[in-house]
Structure 1
Amino acid sequence: MTPTTSTASTTRLTVAQALVRFLAAQYTERDGTRQRLIAATWGIFGHGNVAGLGQALVEYADDMPYHQGRNEQAMVHAAVGYARQSGRLSTHAVTTSIGPGATNLVTGAALATINHLPVLLLPGDIFATRPADPVLQQLEVPYAGDVSVNDCLRPVSKYFDRVTRPEALIPAALQAMRVLTDPVETGAVTLALPQDVQAEAYDWPEEFFAERTWAVRRPGPDPNELAEAVTAIRAARRPLIVAGGGVHHSRAEEALAELAATTRIPVASTQAGKGSLRFDHPQDVGAVGHTGTATADELARTADLVIGVGTRYTDFTTASGTLFTGDGVRFLNVNIAPYDGHKLAGQPLIADARSGLAELTVALRMHEHRAAAGYVTEYTEDKERWEYRVDAAFEAEDPDLRPTQPQVLGLLDELVTEDDILINAAGSLPGDLHKLWRARSRDQYHVEYGYSCMGYEIPAAIGVRLAAPDRPVWALVGDGTYLMMPTEIVTAVQEGIAIKVVILQNHGYASIGGLSESVGGERYGTAYRYRSEEGDRTYTGAPLPVDLAANAASLGMRVLRAKTVRDLRAALAEARAADTPTCVYVETETADTVSGAPPAQAWWDVPVAETATRSSAVKAREEYDRHVSTRRRHL
């Protein structure tokens, strides 16, 4: 952190005015590139922030761009989308009023923190001076007078402070910037701002407003850890690299590609790490885990050394502890976070992903280390076989039929270039995308699966498009996700942000419906249908007469309806060429009648009723017990 100027003079401003001026002067720097840390502020105003931050944003409109949101959670998603597309070097701030506006931030904050993506939250808070008690929207806690609803944000924030005096803003703001720019600790940062303090004036030292540049570190590996890592890799017969989101955060894609090409070690990817290698790189073996490819998952089962790069090893990656089961398998974890570097009793290589991979490549090249030729032939042939399965899932033999969900992805696969960015978060699409999508660039695949938050896609697409204004940005949503949060379509229309939204109508929670069936829940309560006429209270009647295309059009979006594969191919091409927000609506065929995506290649632990009278649950429990027996704890 380097302030560029210093002076003893002061300026009298409100706390909110001072904060906006301070934020406008914060920058990040990595690899010689410098950019604004807080590029813009999103806001919805109420009595808790309109006279404070609202007024300050008007006062300094030339210094701090402002975006008008419709939903507080969605504003955080937009900011997170922007931050991810910006490589975590730039983000947005989000301001809300007190009460429900502030608590609406919690879901977005959890998503940001779980995914290690920076966002600054500035919720209004109740009066610090307590002129009346209680005030509107005050949560009364008999045992603690200093608790407000904003305390809900504490467990989902990487840093939290309540600024109850003007002078307290200075250390709080500096700490907030420190955390936002820390590659290990970054996530949601919350500065709760009592509405009276926001409007209070104070004599601020001018140096508080000096430009500051926060250097984003690239720590290299410890020499001893590096030497041990090289020894472990050279001793492995069946090594497998698992690329996680840290590869993208570090911009380590080229370093990973060089290591893979040098050593011929295969590379599988998590949801967050997909795209770390192009799909056609010889060492890319696709997705790993519950939503993985047969190629990657079989390599994972037989690996004797798993080299995790920037991964948290979530249960989807490890198949709930049932995937990495090879004899004597060990883990080598290249990670900037010591917490993640030690997971699965792994041998840590604590370093920035790009720095760590680069030094590993140099050391292994010195030893002329390469994977065995037979191993390379094995995974290369397996990868070719998987690609045939992808082609089969994408292929639509009759262009006049409704497409399946994989066929929708196949039509997009025909259309896109490396410039396109696909955004998704929840439902059955993440599984299909992870297994099937052929990522053409490091940032084309944008699936939020740390929190898998329904409603993320449309606002995130707005944030991504703001960060990449010249690239086609697609938000892929099912009908369930669309109904959660379509409101920011209005923002896209208002600002002329030309996102492309693809709505796949399958009449309910298709992903959870399938999961429900597999765990004995019989798809209960997962379909968007009328109740049964048989009187059994199930939702198995006719589909609801909901017209999501008309809804999107009513919010101002241009809508293209597609009934068949032929229609969809034309609609997607038209949407890609559009320079205004455009929606493609298609009702998909179910996999019950037309071939869908390949099934899961590895297990995922969703506990099943231990006792039940219905046969579906009894059978599901038997299957569950079988899988649980294969779980392995790595010590």
Structure 2
Amino acid sequence: MSKIRMTTAQALIKFLNNQYIETDSGTQRFVQGIFTVFGHGNVLGLGQALERNPGELTVYQGRNEQGMAHAAMAFAKQSRRRRIMACTASIGPGSANMLTAAATATANQIPVLLLPSDTFASRQPDPVLQQMEHTHSAAITVNDAFKAVCKYWDRVSRPEQLMAAMLNAMRVLTDPADTGAVAVSLPQDVQGEAWEYPESFFQKRIHRIERRLPHPRDIAEAADLINQKRKPIIISGGGVRYSEAGVQLKSFAEVFGIPFTETQAGKSAVESSHAYNLGGIGVTGNAAANKLAADADLVIGIGTRFTDFTTGSKSLFRNPEVQFITLNASPFHASKLDALPVVCDAAEGLDALTSALEEREFRTHSDYQNEIFALKAEWERERKRLAEIEYTVEGFLPEVAGHLDDKLDEYAAVLGSTLTQTRVLAVVNESIPNDAIVVGAAGSLPGDMQRMWESSVTDTYHMEYGFSCMGYEIAGALGAKLAEPDREVYALVGDGSYQMLHSELVTSLQENKKINIILLDNGGFGCINNLQMEHGMGSIGTEFRYRGSDGQLGGKLMAIDYAASAAGYGAVTYRVSTIEELKAAIDDARLQKISTLIDVKVLPKTMTHGYGAWWHVGVSEEADSESIRAAQERKRLGLEQARLY
């Protein structure tokens, strides 16, 4: 057997260059590049290997380990999990910074390869700089923390262990049913140690992502159940997008007269204007989808994990006769809500179910279809109202405005604006190119966008809401731009998320990968401020206020110039406080060749809210406040309507 002597790091890079993915769309390289933040734990190992011979891997310089791993995740998500990036960080704090991103990728089932550096396998210099020591075990390092947030974890303590570790890593990264973050921990001494690797380890490997076919028995049972129902509804999740099953979903809905709704991950698999597309469902859903869900006698989940936001903490489906069918590549997710599980690829499952239902000559009644279209039209009128709503002293009434009390004038004065968030989003939606990618993640924006955003081109709505990770937005925009460089990409981000993590804006400038940041500044963590007040308490630690004379965080509202911060990096920036300024900024930003930031000041409490879905959150069971006791009662009533499992 022919062998090649090289270091562990060199062998790893050579191996990554020879991994390919085969789908029904063709064959392509799987690992496209590697994000790096170098330190003493990896610069002389992986760093030296990448300097000498990166092969086809593009090396990117990250600014923040969490940010670069978010960018890698977004790249894979926008690539429909068919291409990935790797990320390497130094030992200790560098590696630990990737933990949040690992959890984000795993929660969303997006493949990301993390290569955290580790302390010396030999232990000779222990405790090395940035090493955490445990008195009860010398074998534990910071990198053991990745076990809780990854789909696969390994530590390469000897050069020859790399082979088994990387083959297992590829197995998980290419598994549609159980993918997520993979962490292969690399002690810094082992990275530089040499070994004679068999040439066969570096052969071109083609990992076939095959569409899992449903079992005919499961299809027959599902078709029989659908055939008994009068008011079925579909929940379309991320699996529909990753399997490119939008065409099958549209046809299925049209042939059988079954409406479909969207999760955050499923949105833009089908254009929003489609007659049977009712849009977002659940806690961040709209009135049409939620009203229909409440009365549905059958829920068909396709490629969805049935999170609490999608199901209204299992309270959304109130018909006592409601039953569930799932089409999912994952047996774990297919079994949720005590459903009839059909374990399969979304496209293959829809094709098979279509044939079975055609044999049974199933179609929903015209009365139900009329109800669907009426609810869709009713919601469109409400969406139009939200898009046009403006601030007036007497007539201002977005759904949560009542919590403002007498603060509106203060907000307007400090922010220098009376723009409402819903109107701003509507203008952005109308003004940017139809094929532009919009990226979001946390705060009040995901709810507003799932309800209000109209997608006319597929795969343009890029929302991270499995982990709802603040700080994903700008790094995610960079990853999406790397995946689809010919499209305009817009990160819609709140001021709270921008403060938390925007470092990869600099990477976008360095790489000349233009992203557009639309920052909606409402003076705080507005979403959680709403949550506080809706459940009977006051505002604490969620608005951006100076500490007051009473020692509490209730002083004057802070005025922050976010455009100035981005301008300092070299981005083109705009300051917006009117609709006219917003439209002009969007138009001018489209002409720019480098990254832009539009700093839009909006009034707090001017987002969408409610529409019939309940969310189960912890409420204090002991309180001397009447408003908190009222929140307790609402929780009790919500639990009465919720399924227990």
Query: Which TM-score bucket, shorter chain as reference?
Result: over 0.9
Offset of residue 364 of structure 1:
1.7
Matched, 1:13 2:6: yes
The CA distance in 1 between the partners of 2:310 and 2:204, in whole Å, is 42
Matched, 1:528 2:544: yes
Matched, 1:430 2:446: yes
Amino acid at match of 1:628: L
Offset of residue 406 of structure 1:
0.9
Which of 97, 119, 126 is matched with 1:133 structurally?
Answer: 126
Is this contact kept in 2: 1:520–1:608, CA < 8 A? no
Is this contact kept in 1: 2:230–2:365, CA < 8 A? yes
Is this contact kept in 1: 2:231–2:368, CA < 8 A? yes
The CA distance in 2 between the partners of 1:450 and 1:464, in whole Å, is 17
Tell me the residue number matched to 2:196.
Answer: 203
The CA distance in 2 between the partners of 1:209 and 1:420, in whole Å, is 39
Tell me the residue number matched to 2:562.
Answer: 548
Matched, 1:376 2:369: yes
Amino acid at match of 1:183: P
Matched, 1:621 2:614: no
Tell me the residue number matched to 1:602.
Answer: 613
Is this contact kept in 1: 2:233–2:296, CA < 8 A? yes
Q: Could you list the per-position Cα deviations for residues 435-454 of structure 1 after superposition, in whole angstroms to 9, with x for gaps in the alignment?
A: 11112222111111100000
Matched, 1:462 2:473: no
Tell me the residue number matched to 2:462.
Answer: 446
Which of 482, 491, 494 is matched with 1:478 structurally?
Answer: 494
- Return 12-21 or 617-626, whichever deviates more: 617-626
SS at match of 1:502: strand
Is this contact kept in 1: 2:120–2:126, CA < 8 A? no
Offset of residue 418 of structure 1:
3.3
Map 1:213-292; keep pairs closer than 5 Å: 213-292=206-285
The CA distance in 1 between the partners of 2:166 and 2:55, in whole Å, is 21
Q: Could you list the per-position Cα deviations for residues 457-508 of structure 1 after superposition, in whole angstroms to 9, with x for gaps in the alignment?
A: 0011001000100001000111000000111111111111110001111110
Is this contact kept in 1: 2:326–2:335, CA < 8 A? yes
SS at match of 1:526: coil
Tell me the residue number matched to 1:585.
Answer: 599
Q: Could you list the per-position Cα deviations for residues 589-628 of structure 1 after superposition, in whole angstroms to 9, with x for gaps in the alignment?
A: 234xxx6535342110112111112333222222222222
Q: Could you list the per-position Cα deviations for residues 210-245 of structure 1 after superposition, in whole angstroms to 9, with x for gaps in the alignment?
A: 111100121110010010011111111100001111
What stretches of structure 1 of length at least 5 have no aligned partner?
1-7
The CA distance in 2 between the partners of 1:508 and 1:489, in whole Å, is 21
Is this contact kept in 2: 1:520–1:617, CA < 8 A? yes
Identity across matched positions, percent: 44
Map 1:495-510; keep pairs closer than 5 Å: 495-510=511-526
Q: Could you list the per-position Cα deviations for residues 30-50 of structure 1 after superposition, in whole angstroms to 9, with x for gaps in the alignment?
A: 104211111000000011000
Tell me the residue number matched to 1:95.
Answer: 88
The CA RMSD measured in Å over matched residues stands at 1.6
Offset of residue 132 of structure 1:
2.2
The CA distance in 1 between the partners of 2:452 and 2:591, in whole Å, is 24
Q: Could you list the per-position Cα deviations for residues 69-109 of structure 1 after superposition, in whole angstroms to 9, with x for gaps in the alignment?
A: 00000011000000001110111000000000010010000
- Return 96-105 or 203-212, whichever deviates more: 203-212
SS at match of 1:41: strand
Report the TM-score when normalising by structure 2.
Answer: 0.94
The CA distance in 1 between the partners of 2:612 and 2:100, in whole Å, is 31
Matched, 1:164 2:178: no
The CA distance in 1 between the partners of 2:555 and 2:343, in whole Å, is 56
The CA distance in 1 between the partners of 2:215 and 2:209, in whole Å, is 19
Amino acid at match of 1:564: T
SS at match of 1:589: coil
The CA distance in 2 between the partners of 1:134 and 1:416, in whole Å, is 53
Matched, 1:412 2:428: yes
Is this contact kept in 2: 1:127–1:196, CA < 8 A? yes
- Return 282-291 or 401-410, whichever deviates more: 401-410
SS at match of 2:201: helix
Is this contact kept in 2: 1:396–1:565, CA < 8 A? no
Map 1:291-310; keep pairs closer than 5 Å: 291-310=284-303
SS at match of 1:154: helix
The CA distance in 1 between the partners of 2:63 and 2:585, in whole Å, is 28
Amino acid at match of 1:151: D
Offset of residue 629 of structure 1:
2.2
The CA distance in 2 between the partners of 1:61 and 1:191, in whole Å, is 19
Matched, 1:560 2:606: no
Q: Could you list the per-position Cα deviations for residues 381-413 of structure 1 after superposition, in whole angstroms to 9, with x for gaps in the alignment?
A: 111010011111112669996421111111112
- Return 335-344 or 610-619, whichever deviates more: 610-619
Which of 146, 151, 158 is matched with 1:153 structurally?
Answer: 146
The CA distance in 1 between the partners of 2:279 and 2:574, in whole Å, is 33
The CA distance in 2 between the partners of 1:531 and 1:627, in whole Å, is 37
SS at match of 1:285: strand
Offset of residue 362 of structure 1:
2.0
The CA distance in 2 between the partners of 1:600 and 1:431, in whole Å, is 11
Offset of residue 361 of structure 1:
1.4
Is this contact kept in 2: 1:389–1:598, CA < 8 A? no
Amino acid at match of 1:530: Y
Q: Could you list the per-position Cα deviations for residues 539-589 of structure 1 after superposition, in whole angstroms to 9, with x for gaps in the alignment?
A: 332221322111111122110111201100111122233221011111012
The CA distance in 2 between the partners of 1:565 and 1:402, in whole Å, is 10
Which of 173, 187, 195 is matched with 1:180 structurally?
Answer: 173
Distance 1:142 1:532, change over 3 A: closer
Offset of residue 288 of structure 1:
0.7
SS at match of 2:44: helix
Offset of residue 368 of structure 1:
2.9
Report the TM-score when normalising by structure 1.
Answer: 0.96
Amino acid at match of 1:604: W
Is this contact kept in 2: 1:48–1:124, CA < 8 A? yes
Which of 318, 338, 352 is matched with 1:359 structurally?
Answer: 352
SS at match of 2:641: coil
Is this contact kept in 2: 1:499–1:582, CA < 8 A? yes
Q: Could you list the per-position Cα deviations for residues 164-194 of structure 1 after superposition, in whole angstroms to 9, with x for gaps in the alignment?
A: 0111101111110111001111100011000
The CA distance in 2 between the partners of 1:211 and 1:38, in whole Å, is 13
Tell me the residue number matched to 1:515.
Answer: 531
The CA distance in 1 between the partners of 2:498 and 2:73, in whole Å, is 19
Offset of residue 277 of structure 1:
2.1
Amino acid at match of 1:618: R
The CA distance in 1 between the partners of 2:361 and 2:42, in whole Å, is 62
Tell me the residue number matched to 2:399.
Answer: none
Matched, 1:61 2:54: yes
Amino acid at match of 1:613: D
Tell me the residue number matched to 1:5.
Answer: none
SS at match of 1:551: helix
Which of 320, 329, 332 is matched with 2:322 structurally?
Answer: 329
Matched, 1:574 2:588: yes
SS at match of 1:497: coil
Offset of residue 203 of structure 1:
1.1
The CA distance in 2 between the partners of 1:361 and 1:548, in whole Å, is 52
The CA distance in 2 between the partners of 1:598 and 1:546, in whole Å, is 26
Distance 1:619 1:598, change over 3 A: closer
Distance 1:397 1:110, change over 3 A: closer
The CA distance in 2 between the partners of 1:42 and 1:131, in whole Å, is 29
SS at match of 1:552: helix
Q: Could you list the per-position Cα deviations for residues 310-335 of structure 1 after superposition, in whole angstroms to 9, with x for gaps in the alignment?
A: 11111111111211110211000111
Tell me the residue number matched to 1:4.
Answer: none
The CA distance in 2 between the partners of 1:216 and 1:63, in whole Å, is 22
Is this contact kept in 2: 1:519–1:606, CA < 8 A? no
